[in-house]
Amino acid sequence: MKRNIITLLIAALMLTGTLTAASAKEFPAKPIKLIVYTKPGGAIDVFARKFTVIAAKYTDATFVVVNKSGAGGIVAIKYILSQKPDGYKFAAVTRSNIGKIVSTGGKIDTHDINWMGLMVVDPEAIITNRNQSVNTWEQIVADAKAKSGKQLWVGPAAGGNDHIMAMKTWKAAGIQAKWIPYAGGGKSMAALLGGHGVVYVGNPQDVIGRPDLKVAAIASEKRLGGKFTDVPTFSELGVEGLSNEIMWRGFMAKKGIPAEAEAFYVDLFHKVNSDPDWKAYVEKGGANPVMKGAEEFKAIVEADKKEFAKALKELGVIK
């Protein structure tokens, strides 16, 4: 009898192990929603959709990109946090979202988020419409001084990363201007192309496929390669303190997703990050492909929160 009981226990343990392994392999068993916080056409939307294309090389999973724009990413992140953390919903996020979280009084607790993977880092850029009379940095400064604060700069999300970059630029250059926020990068660039602003604050990749746009200045320590070799850095233009202003892009989910789901994403992020087509896409836009996991990503987010809070207080945006 004792031998029979032991045999049954062993069989039960083996069956449990088999079921556990099977369930781990089952994820994902249905389509996965990738939430994008802007309308189609912005840099983060392109980033997310490119990710799904490259990811298809390494998984049979179906990704459905869903655009949930509003409040500089607050709408999309709140949506993720309102859902069950089953691993079937994750979101593309940027450093700008952290600025928005801080500027809106921390209505979102970043500790409720699983910062799954940071995959791209690119420098901030001052972008102009080459068809307008004001399109070089020198012309921007002269025009801003002539207009005494009435020069218009466009970009997404008041209080986001690009808005703060604009305010830092005004301070460093000794000029004044007015920020006009639009619902996403796509609409902001359309406004610039339509003559509704002088400057768009974004990233070098924003001009790819848009021949009427040009990068007038880059916030990096040295000039970029590729098609951006002629773009001067702020230091070269005599503007100090803007040599390391970046935008990062990555992915997040609600804290508490199943272990098998997290393992799936970690493995996929590493595979995509090592893919030559992914690297070519990222580097073509003047950015750098990176791979920072949850713990390191979380630390970066916490450091960014402090930096944004300090910058926003100094600029008088928050108390």
Alpha-carbon distances, residue 78 vs 44, 74, 81, 127, 202 (angstroms) = 18, 6, 5, 31, 24
pLDDT tens, position by position, 7-61: 544 555 454 554 444 444 589 999 999 999 998 888 899 999 999 999 999 999 9
Last residue within a domain, chosen from 228, 255, 270: 228
What is the pLDDT at residue 156?
A: 86
What is the pLDDT at residue 51?
A: 98
Q: Do 116 and 254 fall within a single domain?
A: yes
The CATH number assigned to the domain holding 132 equals 3.40.190.10
Q: Do 140 and 204 fall within a single domain?
A: yes
What is the pLDDT at residue 3?
A: 54
pLDDT tens, position by position, 104-134: 886 899 999 999 999 999 999 999 999 999 9
Q: Report the share of the chain in percent with pLDDT over 90.
A: 77
Q: Do 280 and 132 fall within a single domain?
A: no
Closest to 116 (Cα-Cα) out of 42, 19, 34: 34
The boundaries of the domain holding residue 202 are 123-228
Q: Is residue 203 part of a domain?
A: yes
Q: Do 159 and 206 fall within a single domain?
A: yes
Q: Do 46 and 181 fall within a single domain?
A: no
Q: Do 100 and 134 fall within a single domain?
A: no
What is the pLDDT at residue 4?
A: 58
The CATH number assigned to the domain holding 56 equals 3.40.190.150
Q: Is residue 5 part of a domain?
A: no
- For 61, the 3-state DSSP assignment is coil
Last residue within a domain, chosen from 228, 259, 287: 228
Q: Is residue 251 part of a domain?
A: yes
Q: Do 204 and 259 fall within a single domain?
A: no
Confidence of residue 316 (pLDDT cuts 50, 70, 90): confident
Q: Is residue 206 part of a domain?
A: yes
Q: Is residue 299 part of a domain?
A: yes
Residue 141: how many CB atoms within 10 A of its CB? 18
What is the pLDDT at residue 22?
A: 41
What is the pLDDT at residue 313?
A: 87
pLDDT tens, position by position, 144-172: 999 999 999 999 878 888 998 999 999 99
Closest to 42 (Cα-Cα) out of 169, 195, 155: 155
pTM for this prediction: 0.81
What is the pLDDT at residue 26?
A: 85
Q: Do 188 and 263 fall within a single domain?
A: no
H-run or E-run covering 104: none
pLDDT tens, position by position, 253-285: 999 999 999 999 999 999 999 999 999 999 999
Lowest mean pLDDT among 28-37, 73-82, 98-107: 98-107
The average pLDDT across 87-112 equals 92
Q: Do 215 and 253 fall within a single domain?
A: no
What is the pLDDT at residue 14?
A: 53
- For 109, the 3-state DSSP assignment is coil
Q: Do 128 and 111 fall within a single domain?
A: no
Confidence of residue 315 (pLDDT cuts 50, 70, 90): confident
The average pLDDT across 83-102 equals 95
Q: Do 186 and 82 fall within a single domain?
A: no
Phi, psi of 44 (to 5 degrees): -70, -30
pLDDT tens, position by position, 172-206: 999 999 999 998 888 899 999 999 999 999 999 99
Q: Is residue 186 part of a domain?
A: yes
Closest to 247 (Cα-Cα) out of 308, 189, 181, 296: 308
Q: How many domains does the chain have?
A: 2
Q: Is residue 2 part of a domain?
A: no
Residue 6: how many CB atoms within 10 A of its CB? 10
Tokens of 141: 């400064």
